């Protein structure tokens, strides 16, 4: 996904030592074009050497807490993880195929959100906006 991101720097920029497991998890997330489940990440990281499932969950919690990674809700039972918006990666909506379950990142500007009314009237503090589209993906449309 990203030739521009230096994962060690990203970790350091939020006070995390760039130790091997953190680097491995963050790289897997960063190099993939669409968000991955914890399971996906665990299996991918495992291919390059041992790591415990729990360690992956703990690293994910840490990366989300520090704001490097976004935890995205999904229509299934698991959550998904993708790079949080940063100067190289603007926030963008996601599309979930109801037929095959695939998730795609959409262009940042393909869906625009107008929140003026909300900002003027909402008494809480909005910290993030997630836009999820559901439907049938290109591939599944062809097959049908």
Partner DNA sequence: CCATTTTATGCAACTATGTTGCATTGAAAC
Partner DNA sequence: GTTTCAATGCAACATAGTTGCATAAAATGG
Point out which residues bind Zn ion (CB under 5 A): 97, 99-100, 102, 137, 140
Six-digit token string for 47: 């291919």
SS (H, E, C) 44-70: HHHCCCCCCHHHHHHHHHHHHHCCCEE
Part of the chain binding DNA (CB under 7 A), chosen from 1-9, 17-25, 99-107, 116-124: 17-25
Using CB under 7 A, pick the residue from 10, 26, 36, 59 that binds DNA: 59
Using CB under 7 A, pick the residue from 6, 13, 48, 57 that binds DNA: 57
Residue 77 binding result from Zn ion, Mn ion, DNA, none, given CB thresholds of 5 to 8 Å by partner type = DNA
Using CB under 7 A, pick the residue from 8, 34, 43, 79 that binds DNA: 79
* Residue length of the chain: 144
Q: Can you tell me the distance from the alpha carbon of 144 to that of 136, in angstroms, rounded to the nearest whole number?
A: 10
Six-digit token string for 45: 């990281």
Residue 82 binding result from Zn ion, Mn ion, DNA, none, given CB thresholds of 5 to 8 Å by partner type = Mn ion
Cβ–Cβ under 8 Å, residues 94 and 133: yes
29 CB burial (10 A radius; 0-12, 13-18, 19+): buried
Taking the complex as a whole, the smallest distance from the CB of residue 20 to DNA amounts, in Å, to: 6
Please say which residue, 108 or 115, places its beta carbon nearer to Mn ion. 108
Q: Can you tell me the distance from the alpha carbon of 23 to that of 89, in angstroms, rounded to the nearest whole number?
A: 18
The residues binding DNA (CB under 7 A) are 16-17, 19-22, 37-39, 50-55, 57-59, 61, 76-79
The residues binding Mn ion (CB under 5 A) are 82, 105
């Amino acid at each position: 996904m990203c030739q521009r991101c230096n994962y060690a720097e990203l970790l350091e920029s939020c006070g995390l030592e760039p130790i091997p497991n953190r680097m491995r998890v963050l790289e897997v997330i960063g190099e993939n074009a669409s968000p991955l489940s914890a399971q996906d990440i665990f299996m991918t990281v495992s291919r390059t050497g041992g790591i415990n499932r729990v360690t992956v969950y703990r690293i994910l919690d840490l990366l989300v807490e520090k704001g490097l990674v976004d935890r995205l809700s999904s229509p299934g039972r698991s959550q998904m993880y993708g790079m949080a918006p940063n100067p190289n990666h603007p926030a963008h909506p996601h599309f979930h195929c109801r037929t095959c379950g695939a998730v795609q990142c959409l262009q940042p500007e393909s869906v625009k959100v107008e929140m003026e009314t909300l900002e003027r009237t909402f008494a809480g503090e909005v910290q993030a906006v997630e836009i999820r589209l559901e439907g049938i993906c290109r591939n599944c449309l062809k097959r049908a």
